[in-house]
Amino acid sequence: MVQKSGRSDPSKGLAGGKSSKAAAKAAESGKAAVAPPPGAPPRKRGRPRAFEPEVALKKALAAFRKSGFSATSLDDLSAAMGINRPSLYGTFGDKRELFLKAYQRYRAETNALFAPALDPKLTLRQMLEMVYATAINIYLSGDHGPSGCFTVMTAASEAMSDPEIRAIVQKAIENSDRTIAGRFRAAMEQGELPPKTDCDALARIVSASIQSIAIRSRAHVPRAELEAMARSTIDLVAGPARR
């Protein structure tokens, strides 16, 4: 007999009252709640959104990452994102669409985080060290324990039944392999590696070890062990450390 009306959360009332005030203040005090882009405030016609889609999507991503697609209910999502179901549906579509959008956001976000490590001016070893450090930071992040890699853990689970998700997972894995292999080839051409090195094979090893780190992080393997694994893999594929 637990009625839905039994919510004792006062935030809705506050939010309703605050949103109008916040928007009004935004125009004068400059502290916008919706963060209008620096130069272009062509506001739309109707009632303004009470949330920023970007941060809501970020919350959704965290929720999906925590429990996976099926175990994350729309109630969970709506609570985590701080918006109610109709708004969610209106902005992001149904649950699956939201999942896809969250996944795309994850890919863009992580690609951006890995970008500095792929600077061609770095040595192979420096690049690998940065890649592993970035990966470990991503996989160990999360307010509710290490959340692993979305591609490897969350999306790959759905890849079985959803061809579209599967295609994205394929692309993500392939992209990882290809990017790292390219970096290995560059290193080989610059004499950092012996001339006939099998760069594709080494790249797959690096990819695999990163995936394994994602899995292990989810099993709560301590950070030090993950870092040790990264170091030993680097030594194996890039030659032992010079001293």
Which residues of this protein are in contact with a second copy, per CB under 8 A? 66-71, 144-145, 147-148, 152-154, 156-157, 159-161, 166, 169-170, 173, 198, 200-202, 204-205, 207-209, 211-213, 215-216, 218-221, 229, 232-233, 235-236
Closer CB to DNA, residue 64 or residue 132? 64
Residue 114's binding partner out of a second copy, DNA, none, with CB under 5 to 8 Å set by partner kind: none
Residue 44's binding partner out of a second copy, DNA, none, with CB under 5 to 8 Å set by partner kind: DNA
Residue 86's binding partner out of a second copy, DNA, none, with CB under 5 to 8 Å set by partner kind: DNA
CB of 99 to a second copy, least distance (A): 13
Of 36, 48, 68, 182, the residue at the interface with DNA (CB under 7 A) is 48
CB of 131 to a second copy, least distance (A): 15
The closest alpha carbon to 48, from 27, 23, 26, belongs to: 23
Of 35, 55, 75, 178, the residue at the interface with DNA (CB under 7 A) is 75
CB of 76 to a second copy, least distance (A): 12
The closest alpha carbon to 230, from 121, 156, 139, 120, belongs to: 139
Which residue stretches of the chain are H helix? Answer: 11-29, 53-71, 74-81, 85-92, 95-114, 124-140, 156-159, 163-189, 199-218, 223-238
Residue 236's binding partner out of a second copy, DNA, none, with CB under 5 to 8 Å set by partner kind: a second copy
CA atoms of 13 and 16, how far apart (whole Å)? 5
φ, ψ dihedrals at 37, nearest 5°: -55, 145
The count of residues interacting with DNA (CB under 7 A) is 38
| Residues 83-142 within binding reach of DNA (CB under 7 A) | 83-87, 89-91, 94-96
Contact between 157 and DNA per CB under 7 A: no
Closer CB to DNA, residue 34 or residue 215? 34
Q: Which long-range contacts (CB under 8 A, 24 or more apart) does 65-74 make?
A: 65/106, 65/142, 65/147, 65/148, 65/150, 65/153, 65/154, 66/142, 66/144, 66/147, 68/153, 68/154, 68/157, 69/95, 69/96, 69/99, 69/154, 69/157, 69/158
Task: Give the CA angle between residues 179, 180, 185 to the nearest 5°.
Answer: 100
Closer CB to DNA, residue 46 or residue 191? 46
